[in-house]
Chain A
Amino acid sequence: MKRFLSAVCITVAAVSCASLSIASPATIKIGALLSVTGPPSFLGEPERNSAKMVVDEINAKGGIKGKKLELVVYDTTGDATKAVQAANRLIKEDKVVAIIGPSTTGESMAVLPVAEKEQIPLISCAAGSKITDPVKRWVFKTAQNDGLAVAKIYEHLNRKKISKVAIITVSDGFGSSGREQLKANAAKFGIQIVEDSTYSPKDTDMTAQLTKIRASQAQAIICWGTNPGPAVIAKNVKQLGIKLPLFMSHGVSSKKFIELAGDAAEGIILPSGRVIVSDVLPSSDKQKKSLLAFVKDYKNHYKAEGDHFGGHAWDAVMLLKSAIERGGETPSQIRDQLEKTSNFAGIGGIFNYSTSDHSGLNKDAFVLVEIKNRDWALVK
C-alpha cells in the first residue's frame, strides 16, 4: 500500500512538473530576493508588496509582448548567507531571467558575485554606492546613492552660508555609509565637520552627544539614521533648547517620523525622494505621472502609504519590463537593454544607465523638504 501511494505521489509530481514545463514558455520568470521579515523588513515588506502589485498590473494588461510575468519571491530575512542561497536557487532551480533585490547593501554585496558568475541581470534595491561602483557588468541598482543626499544638503548649506556642521550618525550600515559620505564630500563644498558623534540604533537618550554639539562651534546639525533614533534626537534637541538648524537624512522621509517626533519635527529639513511630496510637485515634473500612479495603486491594494522603499522595487520591475519590451527575454538581451535605459521616469528618479554608470540617478533624484505643520513642504 505504502509503495503504491508513493508511486502515485511520484507520478503526480512528475505530471505536474511536466505541465509546468509545458506552460513555462508562455511566462517570463523573474526572481526577487527581499528581506520581507527580519530587521530590514521595513524595506523588504513594501518592496515585495510593490513588486507583486506591479507584476499583477502588467499581467492584467496582457503581460509583456503577450507573455505573462511570473514573480518568484524569496525572503532573505536580512541575512547575507540566505540571500546567496536563495540567489542560487532562483537561478538554478527556478531558472529566472533576472533578479530584483536584495533589500540591503550587505546582502547585495554578497549576492552580486553570484549574478556575475551566472550571468543573470540583478537590480539591487539597496542604497550603498559600492554596489555599482566600480561598475559590474550584470549588476544595476534603483535606490539613490547616499552621496547624492549628502550633496543635496551641502548645496543648501552653501546657499545659507553655513560652513561648520556637527554630524550625529547611527552606528549601523546606513549610518556609517552616511558618515563616510558626509566626511568625504565636506571639503568639496567647503564644509568643516567640527563634531563627529554617533549613537547606537537602540539608544533612548542622545542628550549627552547633543550637549557636546551645543558646546561646539557648529552652525548646523546633520543627523543620519532611520527611525526611531532621529525622532529621539529631534526631541532631545528641543529639550536642550538648541536653536541650530537640524538636518536629517532621507532615512526618515516617511510620515512615521513626523508622528514619532511630533512637535519636535517642525522645521527639520531633509533630502527625500519625490514620493512623499508627489501631490505638491509642479505638473512639469517628469516623474509626477509615475509617482501618482504608484501612490494611488499602493493605497488601493494595501491600505497604506506607498513609500520610497516600495518605489525601488516598482522601479526595478518597470525597468525590466521596458528592457524586455525593447529587446529579447534572455538574460543577456535584458542586460544589454537595461544598460541602454535612458530618461526612464520612475519613482526614485529619472534613470539613465550607461556602460559607465549602473546606478542611473543624479542628485536631482532628491528634493529638499521641510517639515511644516506636521506635513512636508518643498524647499525652493
Chain B
Amino acid sequence: MDLSDQIAQYIVSGLSTGAIYALIGIGFAIIYNSTEIINFAQGELVMLGGMFALFFINFLHLPLPVAVLLAVASTTAVGVLFERLTIRPLKSATPLSLIIITIGGSILIRGIAMLVWGKDTHAIPSFSGTDPILIGTATILPQHLWIFALTVLAIAMNKLFFNYTITGKAMRACAVNKRAAGLVGIDVRKMVLFSFAISASLGSLAGIIVAPLTMTSYDVGIMLGLKGFCAAIIGGLSAGVGTVLGGLLLGVLESLGAGLISSGYKDAIAFIILLLILFIRPQGLFGKAETERV
C-alpha cells in the first residue's frame, strides 16, 4: 500500500469526523449569533442525543426512525428548558456570566446523565449494517454515508430556514442588531429561545448519528463539544459554510496529523489550530473582518 492510498484513507476518515464537528459547531454559532454567548453545554446536548437514542432503541425497542425523531425532540426540549431556566431569568447579565452559567449547566447535565444512564459506555446499532464500502482505495462504513447525508440535509434546511422564512429572517435581524430588531416588533427573547431549540436539535442529531461508530457515555460531550467549538472558531462563528468548512478542515488535519506526524498529537492539533486562529485571524479563516453573523 503506497502513500497516496494512505492519504486517501486519512482524508476520507477526516471528512467523516469533520462532518460531526461541523454540525456541533453550527450549534455554537447559532446561539452565539442570537445571544453573544458561547453555550458550553452544547457538547452535553450532543451527548444527550446519543443517550436518548440509546434509551428509545435499546430499552423501548422503538423502530430506528421513530427513535431518532424522539431523541431529537427530547433533546430539543432539554435545550429549551435550559434556556428558560438559565439564560432567560437573568435579565441584565453580562455575556461572560452567562457563559459561566452554561459551563455550570453542562456539569449539571453530565451529572444527571451519569446518574440516569450509569458510568458505562453504551453501544447503539448502526443504521444500516457494518459492511465496509470501498471508495477508490479508501474504505468507509454505511454509517459514514448517513453522517454525510444527514449533515448536508441539516445544513441545507438551516440555510433555507434562515434565508426564506419570516422567523429565520427575524433571527438574522436579531443577530445583526438586537435593539433595532426589537424596535421593528421582533420578539427578541423568543428568537433566543428558538436559537437554543435549533442548536439543541442539531447537536442531538450529531450525537445520534455518531453514536453507532463511537459509542456513547455520559462524558462524551466534553471532547466533542470542544472540537465543535474549534470548528466554529475556524469558521468565524458563522452559522453557514464557514463553520462547515472549519469542521471538515479540522477533521482532515487531525486525521492527517495522526497518520503522518504522530498519533500522540491528535488532540493537540485541534487546539493548536484553535489558538492560531484566535491569535492571527480572530474573525475566522474564511470571514472578512466584518462577517455576516448567521
Contact = CB atoms under 8 A, between A and B. Distances in A.
A263 B132 contact: no
A205 B214 contact: yes
B21 to A, nearest CB: 11
Contact of B259 (A199, A208, A240, A264): A208
Contact of A238 (B2, B130, B220, B264): B130
Nearest to B226: A202
B154 interface: no
A322 interface: no
Contact of B123 (A171, A197, A262): A262
A227 interface: yes
Nearest to B215: A228
A238 B266 contact: no
Interface stretch (A209-217, A330-338, A356-364): A209-217
B258 A209 contact: yes
B132 A264 contact: no
Contacts of A205: 13, 16-17, 213-214, 255
Given A200-B266, A202-B223, A208-B258, A235 B213 contact: yes
Contacts of B17: 204-205
A259 interface: yes
B291 interface: no
B123 A259 contact: yes
Contacts of B223: 202, 204
Contact of A260 (B16, B215, B258, B266): B215
B222 A204 contact: no
A211 B132 contact: no
B263 to A, nearest CB: 4
Contact of B139 (A203, A231, A239, A259): A239
Contact of A207 (B13, B121, B217): B13
Contacts of B215: 228, 231-232, 260
Interface string B108-142: 00000000000111110000001010000001110
B255 A207 contact: yes
Given A231-B123, A231-B215, A264-B130, A209 B263 contact: yes
- The SS class assigned to the A binding surface is helix
Contacts of B255: 205, 207-208
Contacts of B196: none
Nearest to A261: B123
A362 to B, nearest CB: 32
Contact-size category for A: 35 or more
B1 A215 contact: yes
A98 to B, nearest CB: 29
B187 interface: no
Contacts of A214: 1, 6
Nearest to A263: B130
A211 B119 contact: no
A204 B258 CA distance: 13
A25 interface: no
A174 to B, nearest CB: 15
A262 B124 CA distance: 10
Most buried by B among A202, A239, A259: A239
Contacts, number: 101
A232 B141 contact: no
Interface string A241-255: 100000000000000
Nearest to A227: B121
B6 A42 contact: no
Contacts of B254: 208
B1 A199 contact: no
A119 interface: no
A228 B217 contact: yes
A268 to B, nearest CB: 15
A171 B268 CA distance: 13
Nearest to B5: A215
Contacts of A262: 123, 130
Nearest to B10: A208
Interface in B197-245: 210, 213-215, 217, 219-220, 222-224
Contacts of A202: 219-220, 222-223
A89 interface: no
A130 interface: no
A42 B13 contact: no
A228 B1 CA distance: 29
A41 B218 CA distance: 14
B9 interface: yes
A238 B223 CA distance: 25
Given A235-B130, A239-B132, A207 B9 contact: yes
A354 interface: no
Contact of A208 (B3, B122, B263): B263
A168 B264 CA distance: 11
A41 to B, nearest CB: 6
A347 to B, nearest CB: 22
Contacts of A256: 120-121
A198 interface: yes
A212 B259 contact: yes
A193 to B, nearest CB: 14
A211 B10 CA distance: 8
A14 B1 CA distance: 78
A56 B230 CA distance: 52
18 contacts: A202-B220, A202-B222, A204-B220, A205-B17, A205-B214, A208-B13, A208-B259, A209-B258, A209-B259, A209-B263, A211-B13, A215-B2, A228-B121, A231-B123, A235-B213, A240-B9, A260-B123, A264-B130
By Cβ-Cβ distance, the 7 closest A-B pairs, closest first, are A204-B214, A208-B258, A228-B121, A208-B259, A207-B13, A197-B263, A202-B223
Interface of B: 1-3, 5-6, 9-10, 13-14, 16-17, 119-123, 130, 132, 139-141, 210, 213-215, 217, 219-220, 222-224, 254-256, 258-259, 263-264, 266-267
Given A209-B258, A228-B217, A260-B215, 4 more contacts: A42-B120, A207-B255, A228-B121, A260-B123
